[in-house]
Each structure stands twice: as structure tokens, then as C-alpha cells.
Structure 1
Amino acid sequence: MAARLRVLVVGASIAGPATAYWLARAGAEVTVIERFPGIRKGGQAVDIRGCGLTVMRRMPGMEDLVRAKPTGEEGLSFVRNDGRPYGIIRATGNPDQQALLSELEIFRGDLSTILHDLTNRHESIRYKFNEQVLSIKQHATAGLLEVAFASGRQNAPFDLVVAADGATSRTRAIGLECGVRDHIHSTDTWAAYFSTKKNYTNGDKVSLGYSAPGGRFMNAGYKPSGGSHAMMMGRGTASANAFRQAAEQGRTREFVAEQYSNAGWISNDLVEELKTADDFYASEIVQVKVPTLHKGRFVLVGDAGYAVGPTGFGTSIALAGAYVLAGEIKKHSGDVDAALEAYERQMRPLIKDMQKIPPFVGSIAAPQSAWAIWVRNQLFAFVAWSGVAEFLQRFLGGAFKNSKEFPLPEYEWDE
């Protein structure tokens, strides 16, 4: 590489640090900015599957760090209103068997912290928090981008700007000159996550789930540090529209509490806990489908460019995108324009496949009617009791793909 590329990566949650890691291995100087004051903790449990496993195993030391911070959950049980279980489905016990219950699951905040810590001490990577992009001006002749920052610090030139700041990326709107919600496709689903002080599983590592009519599903799971990790989800067009309106008004916490008041099981206890939870986080579950992943020297990675929705692949495709982008830059010896074209070609088939939502996902987790919930619960009880759970996991898990089905290119990296 004739001259070291200067790259700005926007976003410090999974996709951003992963992109910084591989770009540094490609010989670039990387600045990562994040609009929050630090790495965001908490959030939902995320899976590392398929191509994500491949990338993780090419990052020395990462797999050991991830395995040292598991969610600790060993299975799933749907429960009745009084808390009695219908049955239990456990994970397969094989980290390479991609099934309904992932063998490699970690909380989003823990994974972001691991990736930040792996990259923070690298001599070619710098982090700046409490910062965001205000504008991007591309200079066609020089091939540079002049970036203005919201903090007011001096504008800086970069050879490449990478938006890795999530599905509602403000940087995407600037770089592609579009609205923030342009290219966002609703899946009519939202979810809220928070930690509780009380341990609702009584120390058991099996997560407990309960469905209420109206597409509502709540979950209380094992948390290694104590208490429980809770999730509340809503599914349906009207529910998603109402959630979006509440989010625009800055009252998502109040909205979730209203939705789950007197919903059954431990709903009222969880509502009281979410009111004071310091790690409460809620978002709409969406897909992002952009006409192009890059414009000039501006490019999208992870949810900012291809959020996959409720397919279970968001983390894995973000890791793959970071790897392929940097690999193509390395392969093309710093010819950024050619590298971005190659990145787009490599990622498009993967994005198309990973954005396919299996038809059973919504009906299993959040049926709309009491009758549908009853049918789901009876089927779950039969599967758990009959011993065919492992077969069904492997059969249905085919939707989640084995990493061998998505061979990623091999690149030559700087040490």
C-alpha cells in the first residue's frame, strides 16, 4: 500500500470495532467515533453463527474471550400463567450445529466490549466518544472526504468513511443523502431489554418465556452476574406503529410498561423492574435494504447497510462485512474505489440470503390470539416430551446455515 489510508469508522458497537480491527490489519489508520460517552452495556443476547464463527476464529484470541462471557442460558421453556412449564428444549451441545438455540450466545454489550478492548490498544486505531458526524463533503478530484464533526472540532480529511452506527444510522442519511428512515423496512416487531434485580428463574439456566394475546411475548433468563435478563416484545402492524410513535416522543419505557401491565404471569413484576432499570433499551426490529452499499468513498457495514431483522444473523453478517471490506481494500492495494465495488459484489448474495425471514419465527414467539398461543404451547409440549426436539432443532436450524455454506475469502493481512 503506497500510502496509509485514513479511515473514519462511525459506531463503536460490534460492527465498528470489528471493521477497525480488520482495516488496521489491512494497513490503514483508523479513527472510530461514537456518539455515546462509552461502549453501551447490556442489550439483547446475540448469536454468532455461520460466517460470523469463521471471522471470529480468524481473530486471534477472540473466541476464548467470547466463550468466557456466555449468557449462561442452556435452554428455553414456555410457561403457563402460573409459571408451570410446558416443557424444555435445550441447545444441541455442538457449537458448529446452527440450530434454533445457538451454542455461542453473548450479550451485545459484552461482545462490543470485547471488540473494543481487542482494538483499543492497537497503534493504528483511535477511539473518540461523545462525537458524531455533522456533514461529509466528497472531493472527487482528490478522492478525499472532508468530515465536519458535531463537537465543533476541526474538520478532517479521510480517504474512506464507514457508517457502522446501526439500522437507524444518521451517518447513512448524510452519506447517501437520504432520510434516516429511508431504506428501513419494518418487520412489525419491536423489543425491549433490561436487567432485573430479582432472579425469576430461581438460578435455573433455562430461559422462561410467556406469550399473551396481541402478539406479546416476555422472557426472563439466567444472568451470570445475578438477577435476570428480561425481554418484552410486541408483534403486529398496529403495535409497531404505536411503538414508533412512542419512540419519536421519547417515551418508549412508558409505552412498554403500558403494553405489559396485567398481561399475565410475572408481567406486573417485570413492569415495575423496567421502570428503574438502568440498562433499559428498546428498539424496532427492522431490515435495511439500500440500493447501494457505497457512494464514492462512503460505505456501509453491518446494520447500517443490511440489518437483517429477526433472522438471528445480524451479528454474524456484521462481522463478515467488516472482514470482507478490509480484505478487499488489502487485496486491491489501497485502490478504494475498486475495493468498494468488490465488497458490494461479495456481500450482496450473503445479504439476500440472510434477510430471508423464516416463516415460523413470528408465529412461534408471539402468536396473536389466545387460540394460537394454546396451539403453539401444545406443540411445544409434545416436542419437548416426545424427544423429537433435537431432530426439529436440526431440521429447522437448516434455516440458520452452517458456516461451510458461506466460505469467506482468504486475505493476506499485516500483523
Structure 2
Amino acid sequence: MHNRNVLISGASVAGLTLAYWLQRAGFRPTVVERAPGLRKGGQAIDIRGCALQVMDRMNLLDKVRSVTTGMRGMSVVDGDGVELSRSTEETFTGGVIDNDDVELMRDDLTTLLFDVSRYGTEFLFDDVITAIAQDDDGVEVRFRHERPRRFGLVIGADGLHSGVRRLVFGPESSHLRFLGSYLAIFSVDNFLALDHWQTFHMTPQELVGVYSTRDNTEARAILLFHSPELDIDHRDPVRHRALVADRFAGVGWETPRLLERMGSAPDFYFDSMSQVRLDHWSKGRVTLVGDAGYCPSPRSGQGTSLALAGAYVLAGELGNRPHDHRGAFARYELLTRDYVHRNQRLAQNRSGDSRPSPVELARAANSLTLPAYPCRG
């Protein structure tokens, strides 16, 4: 491949990790991101198994550990706020006190990834790909704002509703598998004075939760509900807020206060619990990584780890085969597809408010042996 310029769609965990490793492999990455900057907010995410090795090989593991949530445990309360049960972190991990898993806020991780990838990467914020046309020698890309440009490869790291996937692989209805529930997440003040703690209230069809963040200076709210699939635009936050407010009207505990704060939350997020499933992740000079290619859904607890490991392997294989993108893409899929399937299965046949056991998570998280790619650059 003569053109070492690679366009990555999405300043996501997958996109930023990929940009870092592509630099190391001798490529020139450009990241286009719809948002005007790094996206703020999001939920607490976990890094497990082989993904911890990726962090270590990026010399970020100590920094990641320095910003962990430090969550001590959780409580379940009834509609009047009376505690029904509580669990400690040791209970969560099945008593395994030497568990190496790391939990941190999503935007803390993307900030760390941006800091290590920014100086060798071109960033096009507040822009989006509108058309992709590829031939034997490269890919012609059109943007909403930037002039048309040509790249050697295009990689979609743009999430569940990937625009690259839609442009190259067809409508998302062919690739998304709805798992029966919807999730809203947004920041709130820590009005419950939670101390590294999570509190949840559950009904047969809804879950409401609050957990403290940033050393208890903030909190995140979670509202999840079971539902048949809804016909809604994933980019319509006004409709999303109205839908959540209507669905949770009358639910007890602190739900009314959370709904009131939801209206002014600057980082409100709402989407379906869905997975992305494709027979192949590549077409010609275009491929997918992370949620864009194989989102396991938040229910699996493994989306971040899949993104980190997938980006590392993809960049490594391209570095090993700089003039053979087809061979690199094929090898990337061969190495990671079983790992992806194992982690996607964690979320299948499972209710929306339950999670895999520590043993299930550990087996899936460690089911990929990372190759040791040579350092290049």
C-alpha cells in the first residue's frame, strides 16, 4: 500500500487506540469526529483480561489505575428508599481479592488515549464522513465540512450507529440485534452523598441507579427499561428525554429528582441495548473496529475491552503487512473473531438488569492471546 494515510472515523476508545498504534506501525492517521471535541460523560467502564495488556504496552496502565472509580459496593432499595440488600466489591468479584480488573469513567480513558495519540495524529473535529468511494489504489472520502480527500484506508470506529458501516456495508437494520431494553445515562450532582457507592431501585420492568464519581464530587444516573423495539431516531435527544420521563413517571425512590435533573444534563445519553453482528468486518480498503464492527452491548461489560484489543490487533497486522491490507484485515478477523463471539455471548439470553458472573467474564476476557508486534515508527 503506497498511501500510508489512514482515516479513522470516531475519536472513540477504539479510534484513539488505533491512531496510537498506527503511528507506531509507520502510518499517518487522521481522526474525524462528529462532536466538537472529545465526548464528555458516559458510564463507568471496565478494562479486563488481555485489554489490560494493551494498556500496559501503551505505558498507560499506571495512569489508568490512578483514576479508577474506587467503588466499594452497592445497595438495592425499595420505592421508599429502604435498603433491601447490599454487596461489597469483594462480593462482586466472587471473593477474588487479586482481581486485576480496572473500572474508570469512559471520558477519563478517552482523555488518556487522546493525550498519547494526539501529536502524531491529525484531528478533524465537528465533521463527519458523507461519502466513500474506493478503488484499487485508495479511498476517496467526502466530508460535511472538510474538502474531499484521498486515503489509503478508511476504518470505522464510530460506534453502534456507525456511519462508515452504513455507507459501506448497508443499512444498520441488517446488522443490529436488539436485546430488549433501553438505557439512559447522565451526570447529576451527588445529592445522595454517596461515598464510592452505587444505589439501585428495581421494578419488574425498570431499573434506576445512581453512583458517585470523581471522588464523590459528581454522580451518574442510570435509567434502564425493558421494551419492545421502538421506532425512534437515535439522534433525537428531545424525544429521548420525553420518552424516558414518560416511562419512569410514577416510579418510586429518587426517580422524580433524577428526571428533573435529566432535563438540564449536558451529557445525556440514550440508546438501545443492541449488538452489532456482521459476517465480515472488511470490504475492500474499509474495515471496522470496536462497537462499529462488533458491539457486544453494555450488558456484556466488555465493549471497552473489545475496542482496545481489536484496535491493537488491527494496527499490528497492518504494520506486519503494510502493502497487503486484505491480508492484514483477514488476519485481524481470524485472530479476534472467537474472542468477539465469546464476549457477545455474555449479553445474550440475559435480562437487562443482570450481568455475567465473575467467572464468565474472566473466561471471555482472557480468551484472546495478544500477539507481540514489533515497535515501528
Instruction: Assess same fold via TM > 0.5.
Output: yes
* CA deviation profile, 1:318-375 (whole Å, cap 9, x unmatched): 1111011011111224321211111121121111111103568426549xxxxxxxxx
The root-mean-square deviation of aligned C-alpha atoms, in Å, is 2.6
The equivalent position to 1:312 in structure 2, one of 272, 290, 301, is: 301
Amino acid at match of 2:171: G
The SS at the match of 2:58 is coil
- Helix, strand or coil at the partner of 2:83: coil
CA–CA separation in structure 1 for the residues paired with 2:237 and 2:44? 27
Q: How many angstroms apart in 2 are the aligned matches of 1:189 and 1:245?
A: 16
Can you give the 5+ residue segments of structure 1 that lack an aligned partner in the other structure? 367-392
Counterparts in 2 of 1:208-219, with a 5 A limit?
A: 208-213=199-204, 215-219=205-209
Distance in 1 of aligned mates of 2:116 and 2:53: 17
Q: Which residue of 1 aligns with 2:119?
A: 121
1:149 to 143, 149, 162: 143
Q: Is the 8 A contact 1:210 1:265 kept in 2?
A: yes
Q: Does 1:260 align with 2:248?
A: yes
- The one-letter code matched in structure 1 to 2:160 is A
What is the CA–CA distance in structure 1 between the aligned matches of 2:243 and 2:337, rounded to whole Å?
Answer: 37
Change (3 A) 1:274 1:166: same
Equivalent pair of 2:79/2:253 in contact (CA under 8 Å): yes
Deviations 1:48-89 (Å, cap 9, x if unpaired)? Answer: 1122112111111x1122222222322122112222222322
- 5+ long unaligned stretches in structure 2: none
Instruction: Report the TM-score when normalising by structure 2.
Output: 0.91
**Does the 8 Å CA contact 1:183/1:290 hold for their aligned counterparts?**
yes
SS for the counterpart of 1:71 is coil
Shift of 1:397: 1.1
Which residue is 1:289 aligned to? 277
- After superposition, where does 1:174-185 map in structure 2 within 5 Å? 174-176=167-169, 178-185=170-177
Match of 1:86, SS? Answer: strand
AA matched with 2:207: F
Residues of 1 paired with 2:324 and 2:91: CA distance?
Answer: 44
**Which residue of 122, 133, 136 corresponds with 1:137?**
133
CA drift of 1:401 comes to 2.1
**Cα–Cα, structure 1 residues 144 and 248, in superposed 2: closer, same or farther, change >3 Å?**
same
Question: Amino acid of the residue matched to residue 335 of structure 1?
Answer: D
| TM-aligned CA deviation for residue 257 of structure 1 | 1.3
**What amino acid sits opposite 2:358 in the alignment?**
G
Identity between Structure 1 and Structure 2 (%): 33
* Structure 1 residues 98 and 323: CA distance shift in structure 2, 3 A: farther
Residue 12 of structure 1, CA deviation: 0.3
> In the alignment, is residue 204 of structure 1 matched against residue 191 of structure 2?
no
Confirm whether residue 234 of structure 1 aligns to residue 225 of structure 2: yes
Q: How many residues align?
A: 373
**How far off is 1:276 after superposition?**
1.2
Of 152, 165, 184, the residue aligned with 1:192 is 184
1:82 alignment partner in structure 2: 80
> Is contact 1:212–1:264 with CA below 8 Å preserved after alignment?
no
CA apart distance, 1:13: 1.5
Contact persistence 1:358–1:399 (CA under 8 A): no
Q: What one-letter code is carried by the residue in structure 1 that aligns with 2:188?
A: T
Counterpart in 2 of 1:413? 375
Matching residue's letter, 1:145: V
Q: Distance in 2 between matches of 1:326 and 1:272?
A: 44
State how far apart, in whole Å, the 2-side matches of 1:102 and 1:166 are: 27
Contact in 1 for aligned 2:69/2:196 (Cα 8 Å): no
The worse-fitting range, judged by mean Cα deviation, of 64-73 and 311-320 is: 64-73
Letter in 1 for 2:152: D
Alpha-carbon contact 1:190-1:235 (below 8 Å) kept = yes
State the AA in 2 paired with 1:150. Answer: R
Confirm or deny: 8 A CA contact 2:194 2:212 kept in the other structure. Answer: yes
CA distance 1:256–1:347, change in 2 (3 Å):
same
Q: Which residue of 2 aligns with 1:223?
A: 213
Aligned-pair CA distance for 1:404:
4.3
SS class of match (1:410):
coil
Residues 198, 204 of structure 1: CA spacing in aligned structure 2 closer, same or farther, 3 A cutoff?
closer
- In the other structure, the counterpart of 1:386 is none
